[in-house]
Amino acid sequence: MARHRIAALVAAASLVPLGMSVSPLFGANASSATPSAALTAPIAPRHAARAPRYSATIRITEHGIPHITAKSFGSLGYGSGYAAATSSICTLADTLITGRGLRSRWFGPKKKYDDGVSMNGSNLQIDALVTDLHNRHVVEKLLADKVAGPGSEARAIVRGYTAGINRYLRDHGRNGVTDPACHGAKYLTPDAKPIDVWYGVYLANLLASTGVFVKEIVDADPASIDDPGIPDPGIPVAADVDRDKLLAGLGRDPKSGFGSNATAIGGSSSSTGKGMLLGNPHFPWRGRYHFTQQHLTIPGQYDVAGASLIGSPVVNIGWNNNVAWSHTVSTAYRFTPYEYHTIAGTTMYLTDTGIHQLEHRTVKITVRKKNGSLGTVSEDLYRTPQGYVIDAPSQFMGWSPLSFWAIRDANAEQLRTIDTFLNMGKATNVRDLLRRQDAGGGMPWVNTTAADRNGDVLYADHSVVPNVPTSLAQRCMTPVGRVLDQVAGLPGLDGTFADSSCKWKTDSDAERPGVFGSKNLPDVVRRDWVMNANDSYWLPNPKSPIEGYANIIGCERCERTMRTRMVSQYVIDRLASGRKETPASLRGHEHENRLRAAEVMRQHGDLNTVCDATGETRACAVLRKWDGTSNIDSRGTHIFEEFVARLPTVPLDLIDTVWATPFSAADPLNTPRDLNTGNPLVVKAMGDAIAYLRSRHIPFNATWGSLQVAGDRGAPPIPLGGGTGDSVGNANALASRNPVQNRDKFRPITYGSSHIQAISFLSGGRVDARTILTYGQSEDPTSPFSADQTRMFSKKQWVRFAWTKTQIQRQLLRTIQLIGS
């Protein structure tokens, strides 16, 4: 331990900026200076003609975790921005460039942008949408809105955050950035403005709505001779629709999900008599939506720690001394499509008040040409009063001579997200947490699961949801809109009445028009336990199903994924053994790496029966001896993973499904079950899985850790436990998506388990905080904090997060005193 601490201190000291030249952040003309710093010396700006506006202390503890102390929210943001730039300047700069609509200028118009979650397209497409947002002054108008806009503390922390980013660039300069991804980049200039950060926040709000349809918005054009947009004859039949394909087009790809787990244990089920929380968001390991950790303190006023997405000055998932919370992506939709009937051959459409002309908008985007010079490209977008027109024929929402679709986006109408998270950090218990969340009115697309010191636990989906009661949907859906609802749960409404009888409703307790108020959103507070793993709100605990809410929020009495069943089963099995959950047992579930699908399929020897039917004796011998987990030393996990990936997902006529016993709402955590050993498609899936592994020259008895390794930028091939979530039933969900590192390996990981926190409230006002940031605090591969936590994650180890002053002092590596404006 002593050798480890000395090495950490040496590594930290090497990061202190001594005598670096200063050069300009996201523009071109700025002067240079030469600051200096020591381990505990104040870092003040060289040119300080006026009194400093901000003052913050950043204490860096083991693993590069910043603990920021200040006397105001502005100064707190100042330290947060500086710390975020220290760990993630390249992605932070990229996020601000995206928010300015300047990707084509810096990176070229044809290169692809993919935020790792939903928004993807060419740089030109992204810039076209963002530029139009700027031209419409969308964020500026929200900032001026006293209802939908941010409060004074949120504005202050964002201003400080922006100043902190600029300060970092002034201190280091573009050539002082050590991350090779952006070292020396000309866009690294200290001229970020608060509006840039706010546009970044706004785009994050649109992640599950407008952000899904960037290409469909920018490429939407009226029907013409060259592109008549003539739909297939007739209305699609719901039974004939490829549900998975439709969901993927709506940003809900079942094979590439965006999700998380969270379990909260209450006082009646915990050994402490107090609340405990295990939270594990499944997010990208790099890019716009990866987390960094931070601890924010205003002495006597504010004290909260946890993780923040890039560009967020506030803690998104975390804890304070009395309550801990985590988030999971909600099933609720954030938008509704409206179908409008057109006047053939025109861009006019019909409403109940008469004929209206589509708003035709043209944007000009600066692009970098192949020779490096700059030019201008124009793009057209179209809008109705409800929102942008889309052309999405694969989702049955194409622009035809007879009709077109536009989407109204509830998250496009608010800028309250920073307020919401900031004020959750002040909560005193789970009920107060929910009250503050509701008052913020800006929880964009996630559920909340929480536990408090009193022993109460909370599950709630009080996110931003269009106020479309099921009765309104039934009255207003068009024929195609009804198919969308039947297949995907998304009601397509009649645009003819979008401003009258089919307009979103407003609840008396809602924070603003058009969204559901808290009384019409699901929640439950219990004393035993609750959980969520991205299925709908219906079953946070099998003893308390939640029912009676609008269909647009999610389904009721519907099948749960294997991951949901596994997360629940961990707690069920522990309590069924006669033992309560302890802090150690709860966090231990994270690394048990049980696979619920395997447990269910192995009942009655069904999995072995299916394998034996293939005649593949060597592979089946391995599968028979497999320990049924996804630990790094498990042998056979890859065979099971590939088998499940090939199982039929849609029942076919005259052929039974995968399961002999179908789902029952009366027994939702134990059905479906009984693998259908007589289904030839099930046997074929096993045979194809084995043949695939043979074609890849993957040994049947290979250990899982030799095949599944870290795959994020700069990562060594560190073996990882865990695996596929929803279908296989692994709570420690990991996925390989566009890996940039170790691509010679079978499964290089770039997505999944991220900021994992196990928080337990103890007697005497104490908090036991264990965390792991699976990909490390720094995205810079040259940093000692790039892969240190990945190695710990591989070994099933936890970081003892320094929460108290004494703990911080014990783990302290260096201190930065920031003073500036």
For residues 272-284, one letter each, b for 16 or more C-beta atoms within 10 angstroms of the residue's C-beta and e for the rest, the string is bebbbbbbbbbbb
Tokens standing for residue 512:
């603003």
In this structure, which amino acid lies at residue 224? Answer: S
Pairwise CA distance, residues 504 & 468, whole Å: 6
Pairwise CA distance, residues 813 & 445, whole Å: 37
State which H helix or E strand residue 424 sits in: helix 417-424
The torsion angles phi and psi of 86, rounded to 5 degrees, stand at -60, -40
Q: How do strand 523-526 and strand 457-460 relate by DSSP bridges?
A: antiparallel
- 3-class SS at 648? coil
Got the DSSP string for 140-202?
HHHHT-TTTS--HHHHHHHHHHHHHHHHHHHHH-GGG---TTTTT-TT--S---HHHHHHHHH
**Residue 637 CA to its chain's centroid (Å):** 27
Residues whose CB falls within 8 Å of the CB of residue 805, separated by 6 or more in sequence, listed in order: none
- Catalytic residue of the set 118, 122, 260, 727: 260
Tokens standing for residue 71:
């006397």
Residues whose CB falls within 8 Å of the CB of residue 151, separated by 6 or more in sequence, listed in order: 419
Burial tier of 419 (Cβ tally within 10 Å: 0-12, 13-18, 19+): buried
260 is catalytic: yes
Got the DSSP string for 741-790?
S-TTSSEEE-EEE-EEEEEEE-GGG-EEEEEEETT-S---TTSTTSSHHH
Pairwise CA distance, residues 815 & 517, whole Å: 45
Residue among 464, 460, 347, 459 at smallest CA distance from 406: 347
Active-site residues, by number, are: 260
